[in-house]
């Protein structure tokens, strides 16, 4: 089995290399997305490509998309130590073979790699079922600045601009500004539409 590991953390890359070698898995390392794609282009197809979510060249899920497109049919999985749950979900929806938090024990990681190479989709249960209460980020919220999310939340509670301003400790004109910009970002024409869009997206 041939696996490509792309991660800008040398230590992690070397550790995985070691583990996989013990498991008789052939490893090709890379330290960023461009060199990873070069390695893919310049060798016969890999069984699995492991991409670090945060390494140079990834630019969020764009890198995943490119790897899926140019991966010569190889299965592509995402690794991350910090990415929230919805990133994992999006990745899986986009066709990723799996999502590996870096909190995973090395042994489980090897198992997961074998599992994914068999054509299955992998994601750790506890990570995926973790309540998004702590990280309520979703595809919609990603386009908004933190402040705009707060304002949108107040809006969804039916508050007036003035109330929202008071609750956030800022002035009303500022709230109105955030409103205007977040309308544009989510494609709403008025506050009610904005609230419905947020609700529809499962936000709040």
Partner DNA sequence: TGGCCCCCTATCCGATCGGATAGGGGGTCT
Partner DNA sequence: AGACCCCCTATCCGATCGGATAGGGGGCCA
Residues of this chain that bind its own copies (CB under 8 A): 89, 92, 107-108, 111-112, 114-115, 118-126, 128-129, 131, 155-158, 160, 188-193, 195-196, 199, 202
**Selected binder of DNA within 107, 162, 199, 201 (CB under 7 A):** 162
Rounded Cα distance between 158 and 192, Å, is 9
Given the complex with its own copies, which of 21 and 199 has the nearer CB atom? 199
Binding test (CB under 7 A) with DNA, winner from 134, 146, 187, 200: 146
Q: Which of 65, 102, 147, 166 binds DNA (CB under 7 A)?
A: 147
CB of 127 to its own copies, least distance (A): 11
Q: Collapsing DSSP states into helix, strand and coil, what is residue 32?
A: coil
- Eight-state DSSP code of residue 98: E
Neighbouring residues of 68: CB distance < 8 A, sequence distance ≥ 6 = 76, 94, 95, 96
Alpha helices by DSSP H, 130-190: 146-156, 161-168, 172-186
Q: Does residue 80 belong to the site contacting DNA (CB under 7 A)?
A: no
- How is residue 179 written in tokens? 């409103």
Residues 6/32, Cβ–Cβ less than 8 Å: yes
95 binds, among its own copies, DNA, none (CB under 5 to 8 A by kind): none
């Amino acid at each position: 089995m041939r696996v490509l590991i792309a991660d800008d953390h040398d230590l992690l890359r070397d550790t995985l290399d070691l583990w996989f070698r013990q498991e008789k898995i052939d490893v090709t390392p890379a330290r960023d997305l461009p060199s990873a794609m070069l390695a893919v282009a310049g060798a016969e197809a890999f069984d699995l490509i492991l991409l670090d979510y945060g390494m140079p060249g990834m630019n969020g899920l764009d890198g995943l998309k490119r790897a899926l497109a140019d991966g010569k049919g190889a299965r592509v999985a995402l690794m991350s130590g910090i990415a929230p749950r919805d990133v994992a979900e999006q990745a899986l929806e986009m066709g990723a073979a799996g999502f590996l938090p870096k909190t995973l024990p090395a042994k489980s990681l090897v198992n997961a790699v074998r599992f994914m190479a068999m054509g299955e989709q992998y994601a750790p249960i506890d990570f995926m079922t973790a309540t998004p209460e702590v990280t309520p980020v979703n595809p919609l919220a990603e386009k908004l600045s933190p402040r705009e999310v707060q304002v949108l939340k107040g809006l969804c509670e039916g508050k007036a601009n003035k109330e929202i301003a008071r609750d956030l400790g800022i002035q009303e004109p500022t709230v109105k500004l955030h409103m205007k910009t977040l309308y544009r970002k989510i494609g709403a024409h008025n506050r009610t539409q904005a609230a419905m869009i947020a609700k529809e997206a499962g936000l709040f």
